[in-house]
Amino acid sequence: MREAKPISLEEQTEAQVRAIGQADILVGIPSFNNAATIGHVIKTTITGLAKHFPDRRTVLINSDGGSTDGTPDVAVTAGMDLGARLISDRQPLLHRFITPYRGTPGKSHAVRTIFEIARRLTARAGAVVDADLRSMTPEWIELLIRPILDEGFDYVAPYYLQHKYEGMLTTSLVYPLTRALYGVQVRQPIGSDFGFSGALSRHYGEKSAWESDITRFEIDLWMTTEAVASGMRVCQSFLGPKLQELKEQAADLPTLLAEVVGTVFTCMEVHQHVWFSSQGSQPTPLFGFQYEGSAEPAHVNVDRMMASFRRGLADLRPIWEVMLAPETLRALVAAQRPTASRVHIPDEVWARTVYDCAAAFHRRRLNRTHVIKAMTPLYLGRTASFVMETQGLTTREAEERTQRLGQVFEQCKPYLTDRWGPVEEVGS
């Protein structure tokens, strides 16, 4: 297994880290053009640290990727009215600094810089929160860090309050697949606000995956998968709703699907020796008071989804015949008859579909990019099926359907191992 190349810090950052020497808690905020929101995030973080960890030696880092909108300037002044101070010779309880990160712009390099600083400061616990948050409260800091300091967990995954149709890619594919593979029920494995132990930050830092697309595209998913597959103690914390600054241009679905599913399938290859013979799953401890509320509604266009699925049946049939087992393809054809106004893809058929695609990706039956692109109408068909089945259900009732889907993925796992082929050792 290759080791990661050493990461270097900016000269000024090196000096600041040496001056601090050691810290109990480190909070990192990756940023890129987040001037409108980073002030709120920094103030909230400082309040959370002062309220919940007043006697701990803490460090707050803004790892910025070359913002041009004044983000670093806002970060410097944010929280001054709360009594926070910049680094000085007196070394106050809270140290705070901004560091640019080296490497290709992207969150993965920002996060890697944060882990490296945590390693050098031998921090016991840390957290990373997004710079574009509008719904963050001081309690987030406690919920992300307290389980590590007091309960000995290594990774704290976020559990957000969401509408039943928000995050459908996670609901229909990433969650049930991750649960069945690694035996850990982390409901939102792509959450970007998380807590980590000092041991886990060192573990991450040693991985060669930092130089690959697996971290460049979906760093959050990779970190969750790496934690559970490596046997780290994992828990979840309920953070409530997550509201963010609207991005000017969101990734289109085929691109998003390619990045997420490509990361999931690549992680499957890296950790196949872990998941191949495992069975079942265990609930993951959940901290925080979980409540039901009115999450931001997520709007879906079922007609457009069904139309995409139908076009896939018409146009992608030759590709699907290579990717999918004959019985799986027959079941998908039966899910949408020409005269039908609905799509119904049963849970077992969907689980086999995902497993067929994973095996096709692994065994390179087609170009891997073609495999994932051909999954888009399949995913949209399944999403349309789920929406039509759950339209009259509450969010809690829809969540029960999601949990049943996870159980079906577990029950169908022998099908995956049969389709996958011999286990091979792949470096990470």
DSSP, residue by residue, 322-360? HHS-HHHHHHHHHHS-TT-S-----HHHHHHHHHHHHHH
Helix and strand totals (H; E) in the chain:
19, 10
Between CA 379 and CA 390 the distance in angstroms is 16
Element (H, E) at 180: helix 175-182
- The stretches in the chain having pLDDT less than 70 are 1-6, 80-93, 101-105, 246-251, 293-296, 337-340, 425-428
Domain boundary assignment for the chain: 11-287, 302-420
* Torsions phi, psi for 418 (to 5 deg): -65, -40
**Beta pairing partners, 63:** 30, 99
pTM of this prediction exceeds 0.85: yes
95-124 confidence digits (pLDDT tens): 887 887 655 557 888 999 999 999 999 999
Burial letters 24-35, b for 16+ CB under 10 A, else e: bbbbbbbbbbbb
Q: What pLDDT, on the 0 to 100 scale, is given for residue 88?
A: 30
Q: What pLDDT, on the 0 to 100 scale, is given for residue 424?
A: 72
Name the amino acid, one letter, at 110. Answer: A
CA neighbours closer than 13 Å in the CB half-sphere of residue 216: 8
Q: What pLDDT, on the 0 to 100 scale, is given for residue 59?
A: 95
171: DSSP letter: I
Domain 11-287, architecture per CATH: Alpha-Beta Complex (3.90)
Name the amino acid, one letter, at 53. Answer: F
* 404 CB-near residues (< 8 Å, 6+ apart): 347
Say if residues 415 and 355 touch (Cβ distance below 8 Å): yes
